[in-house]
Every structure is written in C-alpha cells, then in structure tokens.
Amino acid sequence: MSWEWDVIWQYLPRLLEGAWLTLELVLVSGLIGIALAIPLALMRASSHLWVKAFPFIYIYFFRGTPLLVQIFLVYYGASQFEAVRESMLWPVLKQPYWCAIIAFSLNTAAYSAELFRSAIQAIPSGEIEAAEAMGMSKPVQIRRIIMPRAFGIALPAYGNEVILMLKGSALASTITLLDLTGMARTIIARTYTPLEMFLAAGMVYLAISALVIALFRFMEYRFNRYQYYHHTDTPTDLDPQLRDPHIDN
C-alpha cells in the first residue's frame, strides 16, 4: 500500500479551512438551538395539555428522523413550493449554508429542549417552594432560580450534545458545503488518496472534540463550583467568639 504523508501536509491548510466552517456551523446553530430550546423546554415542562402538545410533537419528529432527511427537507424540499420560491425567504433558503444552519438548529433544539426539560424537572422542589415563599412571581422564578439551576444541571449532558452536533455537522458536505468532511472529499477527488485524507480529517475532528470536552469540563467546574467546595475544618483552638454556628457544630 502506498502511503503519502506529503499529501496530508500539502493539503492541511485547506483542511483547516474546512474545520473553520465546521466550527462556525456548530457554534451558530448551537446558539440558535439554545434560543429555541429554552421556550420549548419551558412549554414541555408545563402542566397544560395544549401547551405541552406542540413541543412534544416537534421533539418527537426531530428526534425520530435522521438528520440527513431534515437537511434534505430544508435544502431540496423548500423549492417544491412556488410560494417559497417567490417569497422574501428564498435568497436565504437557496443557500446551502443557511439551509444547513436551519436544519442543524431545529435538530439540536429538539435534543437540547429534552435535556433542559429533564434538568428543570431535576431541580429540587424545595428550591422552587422557597422561591414561591419569598413571593417571587413565576417569571422572576424562571429568571432567577429555574434557568440558572437548570443550566448547571444540564451542562454535562449538553456537552455530549455539542459533540453529537460536531459529528452531525459532517452532513453539511452532502449539500455541497466545504466543511471539514466536504473539503476532504474535494481533495480526494483531486488526489485520490482517500485513506490519507480521511485519516487527517478524522484527527482534526478528534482534536476539536477533545477541545470541546475540555471546555465543558472547565465550564462545569466554574458553574457548579458548589459541588467542588471542600470545607476545611475549623481549628479546635479557635476563639469561640469567631465560630460560625451555621458551619461548626
């Protein structure tokens, strides 16, 4: 088997260009996805049947069908309707870049909404009751107690979702975008070195996911600091006047 290292080095800058687009896709659709997921999760956690129904169907559809179908539905599907082709949205919907962003955002919104919902329901009910007892209105509770707490609880699981999104972003190459996978495929069409190029692309993906994992570890450490707090015992010879009755027994 002939193995050509120089091809990898020669085309590495092009691959990194593709990696940049991959990162951009993940970041932009991740942010839009969160913005969509929060109202969906709040609706899903509601106790009214009609409020729950829409997010339930939405989440069921996007989690039960392949991402590839969703991308094709947006990219190819939208052009079936004359009304869409003549509307103001068409300049956006005919670009593969925006179609990928739309499909990824809708997809990740469904998965994150489910994560946020379970996080919201995992908040100890005593904390909600305490907020209630303090006289906070529902919107204030959501803003001050529910959202920050749910964020901390959902953080590790959301890190996994970002990794899945990173892997899913490779599908952008199926609608002609030159992301990391798309770039590798283009280079291979020219040089015919599939193993070398896909290996190099794979290494870049691994590096990105290692970075994402490290970033989320760090964030989790920051936001859930209370879990990492170690109480140091108060010295026994401490002046009794300085003792804190809430900490020491």
Partner 1 sequence: MDLQGFGHLLISGTWITIQLALSSLLVGLVIGLLGASAKLSKNRLARWLGTGYTTLVRGLPELLLVLTIYFGGSQLLMWIAGFFGYDEYIEIGPFVAGVAALSIAFGAYATEVFRMAMMEIPKGQWESGLACGMSPLRTFFRIILPQVWRLAIPGLGNLFQVLLKDTALVSVVGLNDIMRQSQVAISATKEPFTFFLVAALIYLLLTAATTGFTMFMERMANPAARGHNS
Is 195 a residue that touches partner 1 (CB under 8 A)? Answer: yes
Q: Which of residues 44-83 bind partner 1 (CB under 8 A)?
A: 60-61, 64-70, 72-73, 76-81
Q: How far apart are CA 211 and CA 198, in angstroms?
A: 20
Is 178 a residue that touches partner 1 (CB under 8 A)? Answer: no
Looking at beta carbons only, is 110 or 131 nearer to partner 1? 110
Amino acid at site 141? Q
Looking at beta carbons only, is 54 or 60 nearer to partner 1? 60
**78 to 97: interface string for partner 1, x by CB under 8 A:** xxxx----------------
Looking at beta carbons only, is 49 or 83 nearer to partner 1? 83
Q: How far apart are CA 162 and CA 30, in angstroms?
A: 8
Q: How far apart are CA 112 and CA 37, in angstroms?
A: 6
Q: How far apart are CA 122 and CA 125, in angstroms?
A: 8
Smallest separation, CB 197 to partner 1 (Å): 9
Terminal-residue alpha carbon distance, the chain: 72
Using CB under 8 A, pick the residue from 16, 130, 210, 238 that binds partner 1: 210
Is 107 a residue that touches partner 1 (CB under 8 A)? Answer: no
Looking at beta carbons only, is 7 or 171 nearer to partner 1? 171
Looking at beta carbons only, is 42 or 188 nearer to partner 1? 188
Amino acid at site 58? Y
Closest to 157 (Cα-Cα) out of 211, 206, 205, 116: 116
What are the residues whose beta carbons fall under 8 Å from the beta carbon of 168, sequence distance 6 or more?
A: 67, 104, 107
DSSP letter at 2 equals -
Evaluate whether 98 touches 92 at the Cβ level (below 8 Å). Answer: yes
Using CB under 8 A, pick the residue from 100, 168, 177, 187 that binds partner 1: 168
| Binding window for partner 1 (CB under 8 A); candidates: 92-100, 121-129, 135-143, 183-191 | 183-191
Using CB under 8 A, pick the residue from 42, 112, 161, 185 that binds partner 1: 185
Residues that bind partner 1 (CB under 8 A): 1, 60-61, 64-70, 72-73, 76-81, 163, 166-171, 173-174, 181, 184-185, 188, 194-195, 198-199, 201-202, 205-206, 209-210
